[in-house]
Amino acid sequence: MTPPRERPATAGVVGWPIGHTLSPLIHQTWAAREGVDAAYLPVAVEPGYDAFACAMDGLAAAGFRGVNVTIPHKENALRYADAASDAARTIGAANMLTFAGKDGVAADNSDAAAIHAMLADAGVVSGRAFILGAGGAARAALWALQQPPLGFEIAIANRTRTRAEEIAPAAGAPVVDWADRARALEAASLVINTTSLDMAGMPPLDLPLDALPARAVVCDIVYKPLETPLLAAARTRGARVIDGLEMLMRQAAPGYLAWLGRSAEVDDDLRRRLEAALCEGGKA
């Protein structure tokens, strides 16, 4: 008798909408390199906690090892989990759930880990950081910038000032008026755009860089377009830039490790594949 076929290790990414996600390409690239029998599927789940919880119950029952979670479910993911990492709890959002861990469903925030790792690896560990935005990505950046070996003095600007005021005190960060954002660059050694501005279909960030010190590092979480107007202007000034694909690739690695038990290489080959997919048809 033929032995029963082993099921592929299955994981996925949950969001709404989810059609254009690049995450399956990242995970499938890693699995194919190692010849691992794995599947990574996009799963569309409509907004709302009940729909999310119902879908997670179903995916866990179907044998999924875990999921990445994206807009609009990152807060729902934290609420659904039985246990959460320090990062996810502090940030108040999770982009990763692992099913059937020893503590039940475990939540983590690998966006924060990705920001931390990309800066630490680039040797950008201290100085004055200026964060644009006050959403979940800004909270992830705030957390990351305070984890050793990183240690930054941080300032934050957000269009809706009150949102920045909610998250700034815990980091001892002054809030800068959105209208004064260009002036606040004067003392910055690191600038991180966590807003959705400059993204295809969104208004421009409109941040003149005249005041930015030439040796500053500029990061953008937007990866469509990959070279945002902010990064293009920063490059022109001779600043070092870190683009949105860097964070996208790095945030995926903890899931691959948790669900397949293998570490994944974030390298030029993966970057080239993602850049090709972005060019191909705006698949972001």
Report which residue's Cβ sits closest to ligand ATR.
Answer: 135
DSSP3 helix / strand / coil % (the chain, rounded to 5): 40, 20, 40
Should residue 244 be labelled a site residue for ligand ATR when binding is judged by CB under 6 A? no
Judge contact between 184 and 176, C-beta under 8 A: yes
Distance CA 174, CA 177 (A): 10
Size of interface with ligand ATR, in residues (CB under 6 A): 15
74, 102, 224, 283: which is the annotated catalytic residue?
A: 74
Six token digits for residue 73: 């479910």
Should residue 133 be labelled a site residue for ligand ATR when binding is judged by CB under 6 A? yes
Q: Which one of residues 78, 113, 167, 197 is an interface residue with ligand ATR (CB under 6 A)?
A: 197
- Which residue, 167 or 242, has its beta carbon nearer to ligand ATR? 167
> 283 an active-site residue?
no
- Which residue, 18 or 137, has its beta carbon nearer to ligand ATR? 137
Q: Which one of residues 134, 176, 199, 284 is an interface residue with ligand ATR (CB under 6 A)?
A: 134
- Which residue, 160 or 263, has its beta carbon nearer to ligand ATR? 160
3-state SS track over 132-201: ECCCHHHHHHHHHHCCCCCEEEEEEECCCHHHHHHHCHHHCCCEECHHHCCHHHHHCCEEEECCCCCCCC
Please identify every residue annotated as catalytic: 74
Residues that bind ligand ATR (CB under 6 A): 133-138, 158-160, 163, 194-197, 203
